[in-house]
Structure 1
Amino acid sequence: MNLLIQLTDLSIKTKQLELLQPLSFKLYQDKPVTILGQTGSGKSLLAQAIVGLLPSELSQQGQVEVFGQTHDRKSLISLWGREVIMLPQEPWRALDPLMPAYQQVSEVYQCLHDLDEESAFYRALKDLERVGLKSSALKRPGQLSGGMAQRLAVTSATAGGAKLVLADEPTKGLDVSRRDDIIQVLMNSAQGGGLLTITHDIEVARQIGGDIIVMKEGVVVEQGSAQQILNHPQHAYTQLLIAADPRHWKARDYPMIEKKPVLEAKRLAIGRNGLALSNGINFTIHSGEVVGVVGDSGCGKSTLGDTLLGLLKPIEGSVKRLSEEAKPYQWLKLFQDPPAALTCSVTLGVLLEDLVKLHQIERQRVAILMSKLNLAPELLERRSTEVSGGELQRFAILRAMLLEPVFLFADEPTSRLDPIIAKEVIELLVDLAKEQGCALLFVSHDPYLIEKRCDTVLRL
């Protein structure tokens, strides 16, 4: 097997702090390596150092060899596209917002393979068909769901045929079937070459196989074959990471409460721009009930929640609110990406104070709920960009639950979180909904999570 990457005592530092302690490993042809760990463990920094994308304010020591040659940042850039590709974590940062989907891919064939416009177009359509995006070929990224955008980004990145593929959280936010499709696309594109994957998804690491490196806070805590690490983890952190996978959760029994109908959907057809995504939807959700919504990316899960909240009009059928005493602001949405819902122009304390004053909330309730959500008081002195994703999502839950919602639509509220933090957030959200008698509509791509924590399942 050819040696594609060799790192020798690679470390990354700021002026005051060591972000990645000295690390050495080898990546061989047709033997993938997966870096497993939570956000902040140094996984993405490692990948950036390998391809020469490390921010200029950071310094690196040690040696990086790619294809048998030692490289610095400048020489690594010459390998981009044809020899080495990196798929960034957020698809929106990798895609041109004004370019239709097919062109995001066909441009790669034109620039890197010198194909004419027509040939590149047909190659792009073939690639999009393989990942279920052919019907969306003319749509721009902003018209796609998060999962569809992720598939487009992977397809565009792998069209160059590079020998070495570095994928940073390539399946984040995808449903199970699409996740498996993307894993297969990555593995196929890396045949005869190398694949380095960064993920916190245990199942992704399991399917890719090869070797696994487990990282925590810039330190390698465990290293070995996928079979050894996943079936017989030695380090306590690895064991905790694997236990956080929803398939390993224990089912919970919740105390019986008096359930009152909150919302009813009859013969509902949902969609956008007049095009139906799902139809024939009939259900009633009750106070304290947790209803899980599952289905492939693009089937209308987010659209259903927005329709029930009155943010979109039904194409057919009706939505009836049965809780007549509820105020308009008690019908709420918990967003998939908290940064999109919380401004960074003021501190979290200012955002919370505005809510307290506007709705005359008792301050005693704020302290009690913050304690239940494990939110430290000093967190309120920071802005949304100065806290972790888990802290920000718990703050978003705090704001929502302070309003005592009768209905809360949680749209993939943990898809951007690490497994350990995600499990903690889900437990808190479900417990609070049960305690307050809030009807919770919960969208997730993970069928095990839905099975273990939801009372009812709605499949689109």
Structure 2
Amino acid sequence: MTDLSTDSPLLEVSNLAVNFRTMDGEVPAVRNAGFSLPAGKTLAIVGESGSGKSTTAMAVIGLLPGNGTVASGSIRFDGQELVGLPESKMRAIRGRSIGLVPQDPMSNLNPVTKIGTQVAETLLVHGMATSKDVDRKVVEVLTAAGLPNAAERAKQYPHEFSGGMRQRALIAIGLACRPRLLIADEPTSALDVTVQRTILDQIDRMTEELGSSVLLITHDLGLAAERASELVVMHRGEVVETGPARQLLEDPQHPYTQSLVRAAPSVAAVRLSPGAFAGHAGSRSGTPSAASAAGELAAAPAGTETAPDNIVEFRDLTKVFKIRGRSDDFYAAKNVTLDIPRGRTVAIVGESGSGKTTTARMLLKLIEPTSGTMTFDGMDVATLDKVQLREFRQRVQPIFQDPYSSLDPMYTIERILEEPLKTYRRGDKAERQRRVRELMEQVALPPEMLHRYPAELSGGQRQRVAIARALALKPELIVCDEPVSALDVLVQAQILQLLGDLQREFGLSYLFISHDLAVVRLISDYVCVMKDGELVEAATSEEVFSNPRHPYTRKLLASIPGNELNIDGELAS
């Protein structure tokens, strides 16, 4: 390995400009960007969705979309100029010397190929394994990336993994060849905090052992403060501030950086829209109810004599899956008992594979429970006829975790938002168009994006479209499955505030699935903690964050990156 001094950066970007060809002509995505990354260091690029941070990373590795070009500037890796390098030579560098962990697990994993085969392909192509030892090395790589039962998981397909497990498979592929530079584009955005820490610790170990560098693209300021030595802040395609990570977050100079720090969520924050919670949660498997876990719950809102009724009630809800190659059944959810009061937010937190999304999908009637009962507004969901089910679909809407797979790539944004209105015959053409523009405004997207396709939007912009679509029919209950995991902190704060405003205005109820405990602290009235398919703690949000009782809950809270970043954006000493 070449011995690089700090005077000779492993990666040096100078005056980089990237343009995209569109129907409206050339659009500049990155302008005059520059930074250097020494060997063995981690540099984080932060900024809003569409700020150019991922485009910069893709330019480095030579994976810009077909309509994207490096207009000017220099990208030097280990002294070699990458701009203008023939694809054959770039292919030799990509994967072996520069690894990539892309942002989206579903569009970057082959849905018809087993996970182990996809990892093996990377190892074999770059000479990191032979046909004789590749199976053993696949298991080693998947284990290092935090996947339990790696030998069994290697035989499964991407659709059999949770969102977090798919992301870990991508991380395994990115780390498989032990590259000198790892470009990690939101590598842990889909992961719970405990697995996130495992993955980031693994990246740190690689950096230390190999002298490798990490270019980290993230919207998580806490993660950037904890893991990166240097920070680059991008806004509208330009670098607006650079410096040591902690120093920059403690004393930001640029107004945009200051706004990012102010918007960072914190577990020390107060609920965005304070509301009393009434109801209970628990299971027959020894999990305490809210009453026993939190004592007497908050009283009903002022001016009311009784607590709000429950719009959803789960009783001993269980979902069992058959797993290929295993004789025993897998309990994805076991005896889940909880209520969602009308007009309140109930959050479910836990690690990937804990049963959070399975519970949400049963509520959406996307999968059927194995046993137990589930009622919506007093109706047994299992017995709904065709007419009742159509009404149920309008009153209960989802916001899915993955904005890439949940949006039709062949539809324009306008058609995506108009589709539910047309399906349920809401208004005439003019009324639907007005509603579509109103939705775009609510999620802070400009109306000129209506004629674009999902592929022409950033990850955060796509997620905002998914949120707008869920709001289109003005539902009573929204099931939010990681709805802000792909968003930068400024847009995240806008969306959370929007959800709070809509809840107050229309009396909406939310089931909020998230691995981000700081976000849960801001949005929820009540928190249910799941582990291995069971509820292990259930209490008001205030109680869970101020006095966690279960060891697993305390472990989750202790794993939050940058937990010292408080609500005012000041770092504790």
Output the TM-score relative to the length of structure 1. 0.89
Q: State whether structure 2 residue 247 is matched by structure 1 residue 228.
A: yes
Kept in 2: contact 1:267–1:316 (CA 8 A): yes
Kept in 2: contact 1:175–1:297 (CA 8 A): yes
1:242 deviates by 2.1
1:86 deviates by 2.1
Cα deviation code 1:195-238 (max 9, x no counterpart): 11111111221222211111111111110111211222111111
Aligned to 2:140: 126
Q: Which amino acid aligns with 1:177?
A: T
Note the 1:190-269 alignment, pairs <5 A: 190-191=207-208, 192-247=211-266, 249-254=269-274, 256=301, 259-269=308-318
Mapped partners of 1:350, 1:195: distance in 2: 39
Mapped partners of 1:53, 1:253: distance in 2: 42
Aligned to 1:292: 347
Mapped partners of 1:392, 1:114: distance in 2: 36
Aligned to 1:446: 516
Q: 1:328 aligns with which of 376, 387, 392?
A: 392
| Alpha carbons of structure 1 residues 268 and 228: separation in structure 2 relative to 1, 3 Å | same
Note the 1:110-149 alignment, pairs <5 A: 110-113=124-127, 115-130=129-144, 131-133=146-148, 134=150, 135-149=152-166
Q: State whether structure 2 residue 84 is matched by structure 1 residue 65.
A: no
Aligned to 1:45: 55
| Alpha carbons of structure 1 residues 377 and 30: separation in structure 2 relative to 1, 3 Å | closer
Mapped partners of 1:194, 1:351: distance in 2: 40
Q: 1:278 aligns with which of 305, 324, 333?
A: 333
Q: State whether structure 2 residue 495 is matched by structure 1 residue 430.
A: no
Mapped partners of 1:371, 1:114: distance in 2: 48
Aligned to 1:410: 480
| Alpha carbons of structure 1 residues 196 and 308: separation in structure 2 relative to 1, 3 Å | same
Cα deviation code 1:40-62 (max 9, x no counterpart): 22212222222233345413322
Which has the higher mean CA deviation after the structures are superposed, 388-397 or 432-441? 388-397
Note the 1:319-398 alignment, pairs <5 A: 319-324=374-379, 327-329=391-393, 330-343=395-408, 345-350=410-415, 355-356=420-421, 359=424, 361=426, 363=431, 366=435, 370=439, 373=442, 378=447, 381-385=450-454, 393-398=463-468
Aligned to 1:5: 11
SS in 2 for 1:78: helix
| Alpha carbons of structure 1 residues 371 and 307: separation in structure 2 relative to 1, 3 Å | closer
The CA RMSD measured in Å over matched residues stands at 3.0
Kept in 1: contact 2:49–2:460 (CA 8 A): no
Q: 1:311 aligns with which of 366, 388, 396?
A: 366
SS in 1 for 2:93: coil
Aligned to 2:177: 160
Aligned to 1:32: 42
Kept in 1: contact 2:270–2:521 (CA 8 A): no
Q: Which amino acid aligns with 1:317?
A: G
Which has the higher mean CA deviation after the structures are superposed, 372-381 or 280-289? 372-381
Q: Which amino acid aligns with 2:162?
A: S
1:410 deviates by 1.1
1:336 deviates by 2.2
Output the TM-score relative to the length of structure 2. 0.73
Kept in 2: contact 1:342–1:384 (CA 8 A): no
Q: Please, which runs of 5 or more residues in structure 1 have no aligned partner?
A: none
Mapped partners of 1:139, 1:200: distance in 2: 31
| Alpha carbons of structure 1 residues 31 and 395: separation in structure 2 relative to 1, 3 Å | closer
Which has the higher mean CA deviation after the structures are superposed, 290-299 or 352-361? 352-361
SS in 1 for 2:10: strand
Q: Please, which runs of 5 or more residues in structure 2 have no aligned partner?
A: 276-300, 323-328, 380-387, 531-573
Q: Which amino acid aligns with 2:179?
A: A
Which has the higher mean CA deviation after the structures are superposed, 444-453 or 324-333? 324-333
Q: State whether structure 2 residue 93 is matched by structure 1 residue 79.
A: yes
Which has the higher mean CA deviation after the structures are superposed, 360-369 or 188-197? 360-369
Kept in 1: contact 2:396–2:475 (CA 8 A): yes
| Alpha carbons of structure 1 residues 112 and 355: separation in structure 2 relative to 1, 3 Å | closer
Mapped partners of 1:65, 1:137: distance in 2: 36
Q: Which amino acid aligns with 1:252?
A: L
| Alpha carbons of structure 1 residues 14 and 416: separation in structure 2 relative to 1, 3 Å | closer
1:287 deviates by 0.6
Cα deviation code 1:57-105 (max 9, x no counterpart): 4133222221123333324332223222222222234333333222333
Kept in 2: contact 1:174–1:297 (CA 8 A): yes
